[in-house]
């Protein structure tokens, strides 16, 4: 009788922990920043994903596409990119949705070198003040 009670408690604890893992509010999204040479047909995926790009192959546009994915709902917050900790002008992107986890857009780099790109969500907290939250950071290499 004691082993049956122990087995029942073990199964009950296993079931509760499994339910907790399923309903823990975890997201299928993760914090990431990826780069590519263009947008796919759906508009929600990158093509030519890489961290190394050729300045010559990119031509005069130097257009690098990016996908910023946030584990937390972006909640309509704007996205701000810093390239090389502000060595290049920050890039701000209005988020057209009031909810969602992904923003895709592009920026230009026509120089050779390694560039650290930081993606932040910006929440307006005053008339001229924005609270920034780091989502992800990644490095791209531009070759000749």
Give the domain ranges of the chain. Answer: 27-143
Q: Find, among 103, 96, 86, the residue nearest to 33 by Cα.
A: 103
Query: What are the structure tokens assigned to 50, written together?
Result: 């890489």
Look at residue 106 and tell me whether its pLDDT is greater than 50.
yes
CB count within 10 Å of CB 81 equals 19
| β-pair partners for 123 | 131
- pLDDT per position as a tens digit, 76-85: 999 999 999 8
CA distance 86 to 81: 9
Q: What pLDDT, on a 0 to 100 scale, did the predictor assign at position 25?
A: 52
Instruction: Indicate the pTM of the whole model.
Output: 0.77
Give the residue with greater pLDDT, 1 vs 138.
138
| Model confidence pLDDT, tens digit, residues 134-143 | 999 999 999 9
Q: What pLDDT is attached to residue 137?
A: 97
Question: Taking all residues of the chain, what is their mean pLDDT, rounded to a whole number?
Answer: 81
User: In the structure, what pLDDT confidence band is assigned to residue 42 with cuts at 50, 70 and 90?
Assistant: confident
The CATH architecture of the domain made up of 27-143 is: Sandwich (2.60)
């Amino acid at each position: 009788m004691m082993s049956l009670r122990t087995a029942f408690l073990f199964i009950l604890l296993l079931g509760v922990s499994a339910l907790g893992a399923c309903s823990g509010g975890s997201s299928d999204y993760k914090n990431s920043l990826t780069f590519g040479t263009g947008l796919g047909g759906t508009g929600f995926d990158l093509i030519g994903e890489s961290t190394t790009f050729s300045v010559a192959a990119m031509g005069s546009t130097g257009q690098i596409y990016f996908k910023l994915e946030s584990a937390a709902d972006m909640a309509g917050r704007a996205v701000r990119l810093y390239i090389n900790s502000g060595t290049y002008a920050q890039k701000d992107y209005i988020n057209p949705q009031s909810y969602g986890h992904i923003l895709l857009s592009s920026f230009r780099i026509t120089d050779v070198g390694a560039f650290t790109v930081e993606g932040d969500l910006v929440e307006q907290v005053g008339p001229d003040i924005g609270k920034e939250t780091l989502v992800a950071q990644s490095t791209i290499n531009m070759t000749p």
